[in-house]
Amino acid sequence: MSPELIGLLGIAVLLAMLAFRVPVAIAMFIVGLAGVTILRNERVALSFLASEGFSIASNADLLVIPLFILMGNVATESGMSRRLYDAAYAWIGHWRGGLASATVIGSGGFAALSGSSVASALTMGRVSLGEMERFRYANSLACGSVAAGGTLGILIPPSTGFVLYAILTQESIGRLFLAGVLPGLLLIALFVATILILTTVNPALGPKGPVSTWAERGRASFRSLPLILLVLTTIGGIYGGFFSPTEAAGIGALLAIIYGLVTRTLSLRGLYRALIDSVSTTAVVMLILIAAHVFGPFLALSHLSTAVGNFLTALPIGPYGVLIVILASYLVLGCFMEGYAMLVLTMPIFFPVVTGLGFDPIWFGVVVVVMLEMGLITPPVGINVFIVKSVAPRVDLSEIFRGVLPFLIAMVLLVALLILFPQIALILPNTMLGAV
């Protein structure tokens, strides 16, 4: 049996295990170790397990993951995310669909703290769904805006998706964070425009809310200042070159804890919950990373990456045709696989192809993260949809999936704009850190 065929069988077994809900990391460990054992021997396989596990666990750059997760969890426990939503609500709640638009804007702000789509969807769902129900919003728009807004958690920096992409491809975390800013803001604008179009065509989807006075807007904006200042300190510090992403994450987590304790909005019980959740989330991410570095050598030894790369580049469709085929693959995989699993599975195969065709690796990272976002709300596995369902159990699952469809179209439009105008993603890293 040829190495390429063994590689294909390994991929098939991996996908079958994921279909039977075997945890991503465990499935990759099993297939990676078994594959290397078949292609080489068990000593080589165990050597990869030991060396890659130690290498990932001792990588100081990965401290950025638990620290940013902790910052987001503390911000949630201390009520920062609620106050940002209240500020957006005060300013635009009187628009048609204003509560849904405020949810999207609030999700974008919360994403700048948590870096987690699941946390964004869960937090904003708890904050906003009750209000939208009170003002008789259609369930499809209410739940769809929460699920779609939550996806911003892996695009707007700090993003765990960008950190994983950087580790897997050896690209700069700081450049990826910068590259995600304008696409993230543009996606927020596209989501808000989507809500305005839907509610203009059918006003019953999202009635107007009450008009807030200027004094109420001022008070709501003032209460949201701590979160805004925290974002400016951490992300602005990275952009200004004052500290590295890891240092920014540490400073942000410390400032969030100090603010919560000083203002008494963060209890010791809340701090404990934030710490436990941060540890458990970090453990999952690290296990996936280690598994990816065990699975990667199996793909390399099977020469499957090279075979797929040669096949794609030989297609008579040009570089952009190959890119569209790769993006279509992500769209299909997103219907069945969790985002981080897609990232660690596909990067060893697609990344060499894309860079070999001359595409910028930082730009490609942004495009890939947007494709991962789509997977969070596409049936049947869209995790954000199930998160919203857990917050709104009375809403039918099919209605939530129907509600996210217009937002998926907005995401496709963003990808098209990124392909047509790559500078949307590249202008900030190239101007602030210099072109590579």
In a domain, 36, yes or no: no
In a domain, 428, yes or no: yes
Question: How many whole angstroms separate alpha carbon 380 and alpha carbon 383?
Answer: 9
- Classified as helix, coil or strand, 243 is coil
Domain count along the chain? 1
In a domain, 367, yes or no: yes
- The boundaries of the domain holding residue 132 are 62-266+303-432
Question: How many whole angstroms separate alpha carbon 23 and alpha carbon 53?
Answer: 18
In a domain, 42, yes or no: no
In a domain, 346, yes or no: yes
Q: How far is CA 342 from the centre of its chain?
A: 12
Single pTM value for the model: 0.82
Q: Measured on CA atoms in the order 50, 53, 58, 59, is the torsion positive or negative?
A: positive
Q: What is the pLDDT along the chain (436 residues), one digit of tens a residue?
A: 788 888 888 888 887 887 787 887 888 889 888 988 888 888 888 887 777 777 777 777 778 778 888 887 888 788 776 787 788 888 887 788 888 898 898 888 777 776 667 777 877 787 788 878 888 889 999 999 999 988 887 788 777 788 888 888 888 888 898 899 899 999 999 999 999 999 999 988 888 777 888 898 898 888 888 877 887 788 778 777 787 778 888 888 898 899 888 888 888 888 898 889 888 878 877 887 788 778 878 877 888 777 877 788 787 888 999 999 999 988 888 877 777 778 877 888 889 889 988 999 999 999 999 998 888 888 776 778 888 888 888 888 888 889 999 999 999 999 999 999 999 999 988 887 665 5
Q: Measured on CA atoms in the order 65, 70, 73, 79, is the torsion positive or negative?
A: negative
In a domain, 211, yes or no: yes
